[in-house]
């Protein structure tokens, strides 16, 4: 299971960049090579699983949006290879720091240990101290 799809990558990054990153010798010119793209997403998801497995039962039944974004950043880093620009390297490093924080329990993904969306019983409780501007309290000013 991957945490992101080819469409997620296309939504986050422009087509021209994805074409350049996925272009291989046997690729159709001017098109995103979906095989290469899906392999990078699978590789990114595998790396993410190494961090998530210590905290959650995998595969997750619900994929939080944060994991989709991180998967795309890691996949783009993998596609860039040794020549990754600094901003892509930084996003990769930030993604790994986030995953380490999740693994250590410092950050919650909003799902329970089994990977389901966490249920909450939190409800708002509002109490009022009573009316401040009542006719009886205004001493004739209202």
What's the distance, CA 21 to chain centroid? 21
Q: Is the pLDDT of residue 115 over 80?
A: no
Delimit the domains of the chain by residue range. 6-103
Q: What is the DSSP letter of 93?
A: H
Contact call for residues 10 and 32 (beta carbons, < 8 A): yes
Per residue in 26-81, pLDDT (tens digit) is 888 899 999 999 999 999 999 999 999 989 999 998 899 999 999 999 999 999 99
Measured distance CA(67)–CA(136) in Å, rounded: 58
Give yes or no for residue 117 having a pLDDT over 60. Answer: no
Cβ atoms of 72 and 4 closer than 8 Å:
yes
CA distances from 49 to 3, 61, 64, 109, 125 (A): 10, 14, 14, 14, 39
């Amino acid at each position: 299971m991957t945490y992101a799809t080819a469409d997620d990558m296309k939504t986050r990054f422009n087509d021209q960049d994805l074409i350049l990153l996925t272009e291989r010798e046997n690729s159709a010119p001017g098109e995103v090579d979906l095989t290469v793209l899906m392999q990078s997403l699978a590789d990114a998801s595998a790396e993410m699983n190494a961090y998530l497995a210590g905290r959650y039962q995998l595969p997750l039944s619900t994929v939080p949006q944060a994991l989709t974004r991180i998967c795309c950043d890691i996949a783009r880093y993998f596609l860039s290879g040794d020549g990754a620009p600094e901003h892509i390297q930084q996003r990769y490093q930030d993604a790994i720091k986030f995953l380490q924080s999740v693994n250590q329990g410092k950050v919650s993904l909003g799902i329970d240990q089994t990977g389901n969306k966490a249920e909450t019983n939190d409800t708002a409780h509002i109490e009022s101290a009573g009316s401040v501007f009542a006719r009886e309290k205004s001493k004739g000013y209202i």
